[in-house]
Structure 1
Amino acid sequence: MYWFYMMVAVIFEIIVGISAGNANGFKQFWWTAITLTSGVIATYFLSLSLLTFDVGVGYAIWTSFSGVGICVFGVIFFKQKLNIKKLIGILIIMIGVIGLRIC
């Protein structure tokens, strides 16, 4: 169940990243509302997953998966560029998180 909580937390953190980018410094009301609401939900589900994960490992998983998810959404929906250096960076992040979880 803790992986489910973590994935929900990651999904809402991805929403935070995307909506915060569109909130224009919190000048756009609806994007700001989405950012803040998603942040609360993401933090809540992260806290549930941290009942099982070590805090450092859980937080690393959450931020890493969220960051990779935001990169992927940026490429798919916002026409951001994905080059070999970014791909290598994403791969390194994923290997690091998997290594943390295995140890």
Structure 2
Amino acid sequence: MDWIALIFAGCFEVFGVAMLNIYKKRKEWKIIVLIALGFACSLFCLSYAMNTLPMGLTYAIWTGIGGVGGALVGMAFYGESREWKRIGFLAMIIVSVMGLKLTA
């Protein structure tokens, strides 16, 4: 269950970052509420996962999911670069996260 909470924590982080990007364009209070909810849920799930998983591993995986997820959302919805080098480095982050999981 802790690994599922960690995955949800990363997904909520990506949601919060996506809402920040929307807020940059439309300054509405509803978006601020969504940002706060996204990051609050992310930190709640992260703290739940850290009850049994090591802190260093948990934090590294959480930031990896957030970083890769944010970049993928940017590429899919906001026209960010899809250059092969960028995709290659994102793949390295994914492989690194998988390696951390295998060594835990």
Fold agreement, TM-score > 0.5: yes
SS in structure 2 opposite 1:23?
Answer: helix
Partner of 2:37: 37
The number of residue pairs the alignment matches comes to 103
Structure 1 runs of 4+ off > 3 angstroms? none
Supply the distance in 2 between the matched residues of 1:44 and 1:25 (Cα, whole angstroms): 28
Supply the distance in 1 between the matched residues of 2:28 and 2:86 (Cα, whole angstroms): 30
C-alpha change, 1:26 and 1:60, in structure 2 (3 Å) is farther
Partner of 1:63: 63
Is there any run of 5+ residues in structure 1 with no aligned partner, and where?
A: none
SS in structure 1 opposite 2:60?
Answer: helix
SS in structure 2 opposite 1:24?
Answer: helix
Partner of 1:7: 7
Residue deviations 1:1-34 (CA, integer Å, cap 9, x gap) = 1121112111111111100112229943122111
Greater RCO structure (CA 8 Å; 6+ sep): 2
Superposed CA RMSD in Å reads: 1.8
Partner of 1:97: 97
| TM-score for both structures, normalised by structure 2 | 0.87
CA contact (8 A) 1:6 1:46 kept: yes
For 2:97, the aligned partner's letter is V
